[in-house]
Amino acid sequence: MEKRSGFNSKLLPYLFLAPQLLISGIFFFWPALLAVWQSFLKEDAFGLKTEFVWFENYKEIFHDSNYLNSIFITLIFSISVTLICLISALILAGLVNKIKAGKYIYQTLIICPYAVAPAIAGVLWYFLFSPSIGYIANILNILGFNWDPSLNGNHALILIILSASWKQISYNFLFYLASLQSIPKSLLEAASIDGATPIRRFIDIIIPLISPTTFFLFIMNLIYTFFDTFGIIFTTTQGGPGYSTTNLVYKVYVDGIVNLNLGGSAAQSVILMIFVSLITILHFRFVEKKVHY
pLDDT at 98: 85
- CB neighbourhood size of 161 (10 A): 21
List pLDDT tens digits, range 174-218.
Answer: 999 999 998 888 888 888 888 888 888 888 888 888 988 898 899
List pLDDT tens digits, range 50-73.
Answer: 889 999 999 998 899 999 999 999
- Position 84 pLDDT exceeds 60: yes
- Position 113 pLDDT exceeds 70: yes
| Topology classification of domain 49-288 | MetI-like fold (1.10.3720)
> Where are the domains positioned within the chain?
49-288
Task: Give me the mean pLDDT over the 42-55 stretch.
Answer: 83
Q: Are 121 and 113 in contact (CB under 8 A)?
A: yes
**pTM for the whole thing?**
0.86
pLDDT at 280: 79
List pLDDT tens digits, range 241-290.
Answer: 888 999 999 999 999 888 888 889 999 999 988 888 888 787 777 666 66
